[in-house]
Amino acid sequence: MSGVYNWQLGREMAYPYEASYPERQFAFVFNTNRCIACQSCTMACKSTWTFSKGQEHMWWANVETKPYGGYPMFWDMKILQLLDRANPDGVKWTSAPSANRQGPYGTFEGRTIFEAERMLTPDSARVLGYLPTDEEWNSPNIYEDNPVGTRGKPGEYHKTGESLPEHKTWFFYLARICNHCQYPACLAACPRKAIYKRPEDGIVLIDQAECRGYRKCVEACPYKKSMYRGNTRVSEKCIGCYPRVEGKDPESGGVPLETRCMAACIGQIRMQGLVKLERDGTWAEDRQHPLYYLVHVAKVALPLYPQFGTEPNGYYIPPRWVPRPYLRQMFGPGVDAAIERYENPDRELTAVLQLFRKSSKIIFGYRIAEGPKTYEGTLRGRKVTLYNDTVIAYGRDGQELFRTTVDEPIHVRSNRHANSI
């Protein structure tokens, strides 16, 4: 085991390989407050990459209803349960979240999936994990919003519910793809070294020629985003739509494009980009990069289950209405401050949130041109002041991609079009 620095945990951590970082890192921010589980992302991915025989159960992009749902079923509960057993004395985050980019969420005191040696079986195993059953893979979204139906009567649901007609509780929708982690568990576990992280953008890929389908990656990935394909007998995973990210998609005109799942998002919850890294793997200061701003300046976007230790590159703006203990478990100790800031956005955050989904081109920088005050009043007792600022997005070579305003004009297509909404 080597010692690598995990900035999300604020400490050095054990990992099977020496640290090595890409020049830029594929990363994304999802705003869970906006997600309505329309599954457009899911279907965009499915129709692009996993429509073939043998991939029927494979959903590289999925949206699950929390707290009940999961694809595969119970994935996070099962890995959290294993981590609980690996940390019999409990885990905690010490020191308060701070402005320090080396440890913005404090320091995690507990074993990660790479540090749970005593739990590993057999002795040759490198990562704490489990292999989901076929049954857990094959029914995404079933019974997530509604309780179970009658056994043996497919498609028929209880009129009043077995015990509840529906889940009478809070829920929210968690959109997920591969996190293209800085310390991928799939890569760490592969006995054939068939998994690699690209030096140019940090996208994690499985070399299909090298893979022999041992499924160690499926077992190790705590997010369960590496999947086995029975008819080819090798594993597959999200490829970060790398031809688009490289700017080689025929429709890109040579400009880096966001992935298919991002581009298809009608709720405008998604933004994907490539962030600059320091030599030590932390994010290089890039003040006018929208992802850097959301993660390191505004701190409204947080990693998914940072305690796993893989340093995931998917960041989430947490849902505002969900009980805080659940959110702290899912997104770490930065939750309270993130929600506070998101609920009361300053002028810059309000403008940056307008960048989501105005273009499919990857944004490398932004600038805000101040506009007039358009509203001053209250919302639910909170003071609200709005300015109609203009936010301008720039691409890889500094060219302007688009500009939009906080008070965005709405255009409605006339009813004579068949596809009018």
Partner 1 sequence: MPYDDPDPSDPTVLVGVELPGDVETTRDMAWVFAEEFARLGFDAPRIAGLFRSPVYAGAHQARRVLGDTEVSAIIGECVRVFGSHARGDMTEGD
Tell me: does residue 232 bind partner 1 (CB under 8 A). no
The correct pick among 96, 99, 209, 412 for binding partner 1 (CB under 8 A) is: 412
Binding region for partner 1 (CB under 8 A) out of 16-24, 42-50, 187-195, 318-326: 318-326
Residues 36-65 that bind partner 1 (CB under 8 A): 36-37, 65
The correct pick among 340, 374, 399, 400 for binding partner 1 (CB under 8 A) is: 374
> How many residues interact with partner 1 (rule CB under 8 A)?
59
CB of 153 to partner 1, least distance (A): 11
| Distance of alpha carbon 270 from alpha carbon 353, whole angstroms | 10
Tell me: does residue 417 bind partner 1 (CB under 8 A). yes
| Distance of alpha carbon 315 from alpha carbon 308, whole angstroms | 14
Nearer to partner 1, 9 or 339 (CB): 339
Q: For residue 94, how many C-alpha atoms fall within 13 Å in the half-sphere facing its CB?
A: 5
Give Cα 286 distance to the centre of its chain: 21
CB of 261 to partner 1, least distance (A): 19
Binding mask 172-201 for partner 1 (x = CB under 8 A): xx----------------------------
Nearer to partner 1, 119 or 386 (CB): 386
Output 88-92 pairs: Cβ under 8 A, ≥24 positions apart.
Answer: 91/307
Spatial CA neighbour of 113 closest among 226, 175, 189, 178: 189
Cα pseudo-dihedral 195, 329, 118, 132, rounded to 10: -50
∠ CA 30-41-342, nearest 5°, is 20
CB of 225 to partner 1, least distance (A): 19
**First-last CA distance in the chain:** 56
The correct pick among 147, 213, 247, 371 for binding partner 1 (CB under 8 A) is: 147
Residues 328-367 that bind partner 1 (CB under 8 A): 353
Name the one residue in this structure whose structure tokens are 């939750």: 335
| Distance of alpha carbon 304 from alpha carbon 313, whole angstroms | 9
Tell me: does residue 74 bind partner 1 (CB under 8 A). yes
Spatial CA neighbour of 393 closest among 260, 258, 276, 284: 258
Binding region for partner 1 (CB under 8 A) out of 45-53, 97-105, 141-149, 283-291: 141-149
Where does residue 276 rank: exposed (0-12), middle (13-18), buried (19+ CB within 10 A)?
A: middle
Nearer to partner 1, 77 or 369 (CB): 77
Q: Render 23-68 in DSSP notation, one character per residue.
A: SEEEEEEEEGGG-----HHHHHHHHHHS-STT-TT--SSEEEEETT
Binding mask 259-288 for partner 1 (x = CB under 8 A): --------xx--------------------
| Distance of alpha carbon 402 from alpha carbon 376, whole angstroms | 28
Tell me: does residue 369 bind partner 1 (CB under 8 A). no
Tell me: does residue 371 bind partner 1 (CB under 8 A). no
The binding site for partner 1 (CB under 8 A) comprises 33-34, 36-37, 65, 67-68, 73-74, 77-78, 81, 135, 138-139, 142-143, 145-148, 151, 154, 161-164, 166-173, 267-268, 319-323, 353, 374-375, 377, 379-380, 384, 386, 407-414, 417
